Structure formats: structure tokens, C-alpha cells
């Protein structure tokens, strides 16, 4: 660090001083990989059929930490290399991120230690609370999915014919809407017998 080094602030500067060569994004990737490995060890899948080998989806879809880690990995990809790809690829990654977040939350609701901690907060009826949380999370997932799919898409019915042309309406400069001609037409139609 020289005398003319720029002064940095925030979490990433603290992190770069503590761990040289690592950025905040790099540490987040390490956390995501650690969660994947830990969830694989805790939720190691058994094969469903004789002779079948469990695949990647078998253990990712059995643990809510792996689902949240997959959503975080999609977010990190969207912040990094996927940010320079076509919008269709970005929409696909956002859709997958929203889906894994929603699925992880639903699996979290089926986890018994989660409900033991919810008793401390005063939620005594698990069925009512779980049903309400599933309803709210499904509505949030639906809105987030529709927002992801239709972001930047304009429907001519909702936004008028301007959405098809992409041009702004023409503005008249310095002209009054009241003129001698409009006064003459008004006088002609309303004074006739």
C-alpha cells in the first residue's frame, strides 16, 4: 500500500485486507460450495430402485440448504458471467433462482426443528401457520415468476399503440389548443337555428 493508494470502504475492502486475493463474491462462492458439500454429507441419497444410482437432483431436492445454495449460486452467476449473455438466458437463470428459493422455503416448512423454533415465537398451531406461509410464499413465487418472464415485455393492449412503434408521441411546441378556427367552429355549431 503506497501513499497514493485509493481509499476503499465497505465489506469488500475489509475482506480484501483480511484475505488477500479474495473478493466478497469469491467468499460467497466458497460458502455455496461448502453448503453443497455439507448438505450432500447430511442428506446423502439412497437409490429409489434396485440398481439405480442416485443422481444430482436426488440430493439437491432433498435438502433445503442445497436448494437455497443453488439459488444463491444462480444469483452469483447473474452478477458475474451471465450478466453479459442474452436476456433470454438471464431470464432463465432468474426463473431457476426464483424456483429454487421457493422450493427451498417449502422444504424448510417441512423441517421439524424449524417448527420447534417457531413455538418460541408464539406460533402454536402448525397447520394454520404452515398453510398461511405456503399460500403467501406461493403468491410471492407466482408474482416473482411472472415479473421475471414479462420484464421488458410490453403488450399493445395495455400500453397503447406506442408499444409497437417504440416512438414517443409527438409534442406540439408553442401552439395553443385554442385558436380562431376552433372559435369559429364552436360559434357556427352552437348559434344555428
Position 135 pLDDT exceeds 50: yes
Specify the pTM: 0.60
| Residue 81 CB-density burial (10 A; 0-12 exposed, 13-18 middle, 19+ buried) | exposed
Average pLDDT of the chain? 75
**Residue ranges covered by each domain of the chain:** 13-45+54-154
Pick the residue with more confidence: 28 or 69?
69
As a whole number of angstroms, the distance between CA 75 and CA 19 comes to 23
Candidate from 42-51, 63-72, 120-129 with smallest mean pLDDT:
42-51
Residue 54 pLDDT level (bands cut at 50, 70, 90): low
Residue 114: its pLDDT value, please?
Answer: 86
Position 11 pLDDT exceeds 70: no
Amino acid at each position: 500500500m503506497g501513499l497514493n493508494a485509493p481509499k476503499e470502504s465497505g465489506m469488500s475492502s475489509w475482506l480484501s485486507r483480511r484475505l488477500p486475493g479474495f473478493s466478497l463474491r469469491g467468499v460467497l462462492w466458497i460458502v455455496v460450495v461448502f453448503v453443497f458439500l455439507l448438505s450432500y454429507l447430511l442428506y446423502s441419497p439412497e437409490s429409489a430402485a434396485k440398481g439405480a444410482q442416485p443422481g444430482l437432483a436426488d440430493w439437491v431436492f432433498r435438502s433445503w440448504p442445497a436448494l437455497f445454495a443453488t439459488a444463491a449460486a444462480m444469483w452469483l452467476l447473474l452478477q458475474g458471467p451471465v450478466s453479459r449473455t442474452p436476456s433470454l438466458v438471464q431470464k432463465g437463470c432468474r426463473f431457476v433462482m426464483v424456483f429454487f428459493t421457493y422450493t427451498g422455503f417449502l422444504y424448510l416448512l417441512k423441517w421439524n426443528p424449524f417448527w420447534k423454533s417457531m413455538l418460541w415465537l408464539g406460533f402454536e398451531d402448525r397447520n394454520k401457520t404452515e398453510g398461511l406461509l405456503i399460500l403467501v410464499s406461493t403468491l410471492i413465487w407466482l408474482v416473482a415468476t411472472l415479473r421475471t418472464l414479462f420484464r421488458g415485455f410490453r403488450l399493445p393492449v395495455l400500453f397503447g399503440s406506442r408499444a409497437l412503434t417504440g416512438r414517443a408521441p409527438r409534442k406540439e411546441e408553442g401552439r395553443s389548443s385554442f385558436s380562431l378556427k376552433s372559435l369559429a367552429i364552436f360559434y357556427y355549431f352552437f348559434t344555428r337555428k
